[in-house]
Amino acid sequence: MNKSTPILVTGATGYIAGWIIERLLNQGYKVNATVRDPSKTDKIQHLYDIAEKSSGQIQFFKADLLDPNSFDDAMQGCEVVIHTASPFVVTNYKDAVKDIIEPAVKGTENVLNSVNRTESVKRVVLTSSIASTYGDAIEILDTSNNEFDE
């Protein structure tokens, strides 16, 4: 990967994104990171701290999975897009399809549509969750040792 161009990581405050960002920064990459609200510094301070101790750089961009053009600015000049953003709701949701599945699918569509509009992007990495195959994970009760595997 080209260290002179930024790498976009969506959903920067998420668990997987945090580890990806840390590794990229420690390897000297510039990271464009999307979050819901960059002004909430308490949510992103740990990423600033990692960047300060690394040879990389980080810049935050506001993005909303449901806004069709939300990722365009953050993606400009990026050759690689790592899409990790997805709704994560454990409790307090009324309809799993409406509150989790549809925003995840629509958000991925919006990111990929931004990719199609951005000439610099050469590669997309899409992450997913076990929840995409096992839903609310109630099925784990029917497995031996209450474990999922391949």
Enumerate the domain spans of the chain. Answer: 7-146
| Residue that the structure tokens 């990111």 belong to | 111
Could you tell me if 44 and 13 are in contact, meaning their C-beta atoms sit under 8 angstroms apart?
Answer: yes
Can you give the pTM of this predicted structure? 0.86
More confident residue, 109 or 144: 109
DSSP 41-66: HHHHHHHHHHHHTSS-EEEEEE--TT
Q: Edge-to-edge strands of the sheet including 57-62?
A: 57-62, 30-35, 7-10, 80-83, 123-126
- What does the pLDDT read at residue 66? 94
Distance of CA 72 to the CA centre of its chain: 15
* Distant-in-sequence, close-in-space partners of 123: CB < 8 Å, separation ≥ 6: 79, 80, 81
More confident residue, 11 or 132: 11
> Would you place residue 31 in the very low, low, confident or very high pLDDT band (cuts 50, 70, 90)?
very high
- Residue 7: which of 69, 21, 67, 41 has the closest Cα? 21
> What's domain 7-146's architecture?
3-Layer(aba) Sandwich (3.40)
What's the pLDDT tens digit per position in 74-111? Answer: 999 999 999 999 887 666 778 878 888 888 899 999 99
